[in-house]
Amino acid sequence: MQHRDRETDRCCRMPGMLLGDIFPNFEADSTFGRMKLHDYLGDSWGVLFSHPRDFTPVCTTELGRAAQLSPEFSKRNVKLMALSVDSLEQHHSWSKDIMAYNNTEPGSEFPFPIIADDRRELVETLGMLDPEEKDQSGMPLSARCVFVIGPDKKLKLSILYPATTGRNFDEILRVIDSLQLTAHNRVATPVDWRPGNSVMVPPSIPETEAATLFPAGVYTKDLPSGKKYLRYTPQPNTHQQ
């Protein structure tokens, strides 16, 4: 049996948070000042994402892309928040590099807060540490975690990437479009779904009810099994009651 040291076990152990749980209302310093999570979010959705270290290549490309897409997140009433185990001073300095990477006008303000967690309190509490990636002193760095938090302050989605794999923020936007649509409509989104594409009618909805819920019509694909579970309908434009 492969030996695992105590530090590795502590880093790999995910917190007890499950989808639907209230996200911890932590308080921390950020490049936007002192912030308390639930107050900062208000009635908005939130995306909290961690990165291993400031002044590193993959992280710079990630936050650069997130900054470029910030207007798209804002259109969806989503507030972005980044986090790493670096200090506030480092965050402020590094954000200038990110803006330069994006070829942004000098002096432009970075569009979302970067949370300082140089004591590693938050990354430990939220299970964000990567035992495979360590700093020069041997301390584990934060992994590339993504948490999507709803206006009800509940965890809606979590994704965990290793330090060696940069995230796709267009995909995170796509996921949020799905989460927001399905939060108000009794539908599901299929593989590679994009806004405007047809959606799926969940198997839990009987055919008679589906006809009432989806006046635009329901298309059922014929299958060799004879089971009628692949049901499609145009994307609803209004919230269902």
Alpha-carbon 233 to chain mean position: 27
Phi-psi region of 55 (alpha: psi -120 to 50; beta: other; left: phi over 0): left
Alpha-carbon 61 to chain mean position: 17
Q: How many CB atoms lie within 10 A of CB 62?
A: 21
| Residue found by looking up tokens 């200090």 in the block | 87
12 catalytic? Reply is: no
- Separation between Cα atoms, residue 72 and residue 188, nearest integer Å: 22
* From 11, 12, 59, 145, active-site residue: 59
Catalytic residue ranges: 59
